[in-house]
Amino acid sequence: MRREASTPRPGWQQKLEELGFTYYMLEGKAYWTEQACYVFTADEIDEIEAATEALHDLCLKAVEHVVSNKLWQRMRIPPTWGDYIERVWRRTDPTIYGRFDLAYDGKSPPKLLEYNADTPTALYEAAVVQWYWLKDIKPDADQFNSIHEKLIEAWRGILRRLAPEALVHFARFEDQPEDLATSEYLRDTALQAGLAGKPIAVPQIGWNGKRFTDLDEMPIQVMSKLYPWEWMVREEFGAHVLTDSTAFLEPAWKMILSNKMLLPLLWEGFPDHANLLPAFEQQHSDLGNAYVKKPIFGREGHNISIVAPGLFDTAGGSYGAEGYVWQAYHALPVFDGNHAVVGSWVVEGKPAGIGMREDERRITHNNSRFVPHYFEPGGSS
Amino acid sequence: MPSPSQPGGPRMSRSVKLVLMGVAGAALLYSCAPGVGAGLGTLPYLWFLPNPFYRPPIAAPCPPGTPNCGQQASTSSGSGGGGSSTSRGSGSTTTDASKAAPSQSQRGGFGSSGYGSSGAS
């Protein structure tokens, strides 16, 4: 694994905009860069792929453990939601996608930092934008990226479970470019799979006393939402979900996996697993003097603190009211002063590709740069 | 190189994506055109559909000789097999369609929690 300097394509901004990828600058800083790329060997990609598959399997076992033992209080999920989550889980309501964030340096096994299982973004740039970069810059190279094809296949699987007239609504915040792109891209793949899709802004979702509705007063049967479950649970319309006449993507059992309490739960169930870091509900002697404190319901790196000898880094925010978990500190690899994290995509439960993010800071956040990647045959880079 | 998880299948996209996307795909991506299917909500039966992933339990067949076997089958909560008087097929839902007059929905019950962000991660 290495970071390689790369010459940007002539007119690269226009190329990105032609793809609809307009948010390559965020808050005045580059979000997409092609002045560099990450290079892997095929063996390294195999290792990431295998770790992703293994971690997803562990996560499914964790969901079963939580549901079977009704660990709602521990997960900070209202117990009134327990029956609903169990019902959705038992009838195997489908999942489309999720993204593991992994610490990986090509030398030691990938380590799970967190699972963005409910509302992952950076999807379009991983599935499509970096693919076009590869075709332009390294047409003979490979990229770990079958996200697009797997998304379409996942939607086809959902189509087979729905009535022919079924319509999927895609709910998101339309003033957030990244959210809009992710949701529209999902809708595009659903359409390519043969489903009908209709966009709606999250605040426009209606409730008519019986059903969730769109602006045409049309009942919403299936809702692909880019809005966190833990927020929906506590909002005014949250209780209506429990009547269970609308199906959600991602399903409510993802509330267990997008929850940082998953990390200590996994460590309890599978201690010393090669792809896990020690994690606990409170400070623990096994953490030594180097740990990362993460809010149970936190996003985009907010309210994360890193504590290690000679090191303290923290990111502000408004999360943490539900408590924190403590995870052993595992330094991200640094390339040319950039801390690199692997976002490993899972589509319909299977590894589907990666997107690389990097930042000068140790805490990856919403605007951390997306950097394309490719891989070479063989075992060393 | 074949994928360990997909013997014989491609792990990489190769040319497939270039066929699927392109300018037309990008145009679609940001079109935000009204979705196909708008207007389906006027069909009254949609108001009564259960969760679309719900599958009612299938009644177990009675062993031969079981007393009241026919009655058990007909009163099960299954998909309507066996019974005639209490079967709950989709037809029974349409009888309530006249009560399904869509009303003006309340809105804004989702979307108030953001801490300056949409919650995507």
Please report, in angstroms and rounded to a whole number, the separation of the first and last CA atoms in chain A: 6
Q: List the single best residue of A23, A159, A202 to mutate versus B (max B Cβ within 10 A).
A: A202
* B118 Cβ neighbours under 8 A, 6+ residues apart: A172, A173, A176, A179, A202, A226, A227
CB atoms within 10 A of CB A301: 22
* B99 Cβ neighbours under 8 A, 6+ residues apart: none
Q: Are A241 and A220 spatial neighbours (Cβ–Cβ below 8 Å)?
A: no
Alpha-carbon Rg for chain B in angstroms: 25
Least Cα distance to A173 among B102, B117, B37, B104 occurs for B117
Q: Are A162 and A135 spatial neighbours (Cβ–Cβ below 8 Å)?
A: no
User: pLDDT confidence of B76, banded at 50, 70, 90?
Assistant: very low
Chain B residue with CA closest to A222: the answer is B52
CB-CB under 8 Å, B16 with A148:
yes
CB-CB under 8 Å, A192 with B20:
yes
Least Cα distance to A353 among A372, A376, A368 occurs for A372
Please check the confidence at residue B73 and state whether its pLDDT lies above 80. no
Please check the confidence at residue A202 and state whether its pLDDT lies above 90. yes
Q: Which residue has the higher pLDDT, B41 or A152?
A: A152
In this prediction, residues A43-62 reach a mean pLDDT of 98
- Tokens 């930042």, located at residue: A359
Q: Decide the pairing of beta strands A324-328 and A350-359.
A: unpaired
Q: Is the dihedral of CA B27, B29, B32, B33 positive or negative?
A: positive
pTM to 2 decimals? 0.83
Tokens standing for B11? 């792990």
Give the angle subtended at the CA of A95 by the CAs of A244 and A349, to the nearest 5°. 150
Whole-number mean pLDDT of chain B?
50
Please check the confidence at residue B100 and state whether its pLDDT lies above 60. no
Q: At what angle do helices A42-69 and A82-90 cross, to 10 degrees?
A: 130
Alpha-carbon Rg for chain A in angstroms: 20
> Which among A144, A181, A206 has CB closest to B106?
A206
> Which among A118, A148, A203 has CB closest to B20?
A148
Per-position DSSP letters for A244-308, written without gaps between them? --SEEES-TTHHHHSSTTHHHHHHHHSTT-TT---EESS--GGGTT-EEEEETT--TTTT-EEEE
Share of chain A above pLDDT 70, in %: 99
Amino acid at A72: W
Task: Return the H-helix or E-strand segment holding B93.
Answer: helix B90-94
Q: What are the sequence ranges of the domains in chain A?
A: 2-259+333-352+365-376, 278-328
CB-CB under 8 Å, B52 with A247:
yes
> Which among A18, A144, A221 has CB closest to B52?
A221
CB-CB under 8 Å, A116 with B25:
no
Q: Decide the pairing of beta strands A29-30 and A25-26.
A: antiparallel
Tokens standing for B29? 């991506």
Q: What are phi and psi of A143, to 5 degrees?
A: -140, 140
Least Cα distance to A280 among A239, A240, A220, A323 occurs for A323
CB-CB under 8 Å, B109 with A235:
yes
CA A245/CA A253 separation, integer angstroms = 16
CB-CB under 8 Å, B26 with A19:
yes
Q: How close A338 comes to chain B (CA, Å)?
A: 20
Tokens standing for B99? 């009560």
Q: Which residue has the higher pLDDT, B86 or A234?
A: A234
pLDDT at A24: 95
CA A88/CA A75 separation, integer angstroms = 17
Please check the confidence at residue B93 and state whether its pLDDT lies above 50. no
> Which among A94, A121, A176 has CB closest to B121?
A121
- Whether the predicted interface score ipTM is above 0.90: no
User: pLDDT confidence of B106, banded at 50, 70, 90?
Assistant: very high
